[in-house]
Each structure stands twice: as C-alpha cells, then as structure tokens.
C-alpha cells in the first residue's frame, strides 16, 4: 500500500507545491542495496537549485559540518542571552536562511533540479 500512498501524495504535491516535499520522505518498499545512500564514494551531486556546481560531500560529512555550525549558533545565542554578544552579531551568525535548503531567503532560490535515487 505504501507505493500507492506515495504515488497519490506525489501527484498532489506536483499540483500544489510543484516539487516533492513529502513523498521523498516515504520509505520505499524495495531498497536497492547497490545504491550509495550516504555517498561514501564521494560521487558528484547537485543542489536542487544549482546544477552548475558539483558537490562531493558524503551525508556524514555534511552532518558533521551541520553539527559544528549548530554548535556555533547555539554558543552565539547563549552569549547573547548572557549579554556577552550583541543582537546584530547573533543575527549575522544565524543568517536569514531557509529551513529547507540553508540558502539565504533573500535570494529566492527554488528547487528546480531533481535526480532522485528513489523513483
């Protein structure tokens, strides 16, 4: 039944959002064990809004970088509430980034390119 649910949700997403917002998160019924899900081989991949610059990071490398960045943000917020850092500096550290992509919200980037391993 998961395949049917994913197809229905995917169809609705195409109409409403124009991109797969939720259906990509539905776990597939069959998993191809030959796929490098974590990109441990450092194959090239692209952001869904930029097909001009190849990326090679693995998921674990990106996660480690995200943890370090979150740590920096948490420290800045803590310093702000401890009155050791001013508001403008905290906002510079946090940025105005999209929750979905991490891209600056002022750029208005849209997800346009998809090369999904799950079909």
Going by C-beta distance under 8 Å and a sequence separation of 6 or more, which residues neighbour residue 92? none
Domain count, the chain: 2
Residues 38 and 74 in one domain: yes
How does residue 2 score in pLDDT terms, banded at 50, 70 and 90? low
Residue 18 belongs to domain spanning: 1-30
Residues 89 and 48 in one domain: yes
Residues 16 and 38 in one domain: no
Q: Is the pLDDT of residue 113 over 90?
A: no
Name the 3-class secondary structure at 98. Answer: coil
Residues 20 and 71 in one domain: no
Residues 61 and 105 in one domain: yes
The pLDDT assigned to 67 comes to: 98
Tell me the C-alpha distance between 77 and 93, whole Å: 9
6-60 pLDDT tens trace? 888 888 888 888 877 778 777 767 777 888 989 999 999 988 888 898 999 999 9
Tell me the C-alpha distance between 7 and 22, whole Å: 11
Residues 80 and 23 in one domain: no
Residues 47 and 100 in one domain: yes
Tell me the C-alpha distance between 61 and 22, whole Å: 24
């Amino acid at each position: 039944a998961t395949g049917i649910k994913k197809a229905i949700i995917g169809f609705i997403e195409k109409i409403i959002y124009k991109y797969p917002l939720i259906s990509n998160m539905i776990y597939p019924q069959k998993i191809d064990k030959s796929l490098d899900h974590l990109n441990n081989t450092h194959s090239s991949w692209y952001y869904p809004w930029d097909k001009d610059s190849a990326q090679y990071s693995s998921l674990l490398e990106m996660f480690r970088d995200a943890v370090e960045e979150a740590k920096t943000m948490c420290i800045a917020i803590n310093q702000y509430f401890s009155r050791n850092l001013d508001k403008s500096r905290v906002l510079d550290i946090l940025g105005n980034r999209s929750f979905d992509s991490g891209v600056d919200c002022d750029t208005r980037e849209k997800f346009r390119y998809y090369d999904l391993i799950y079909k």
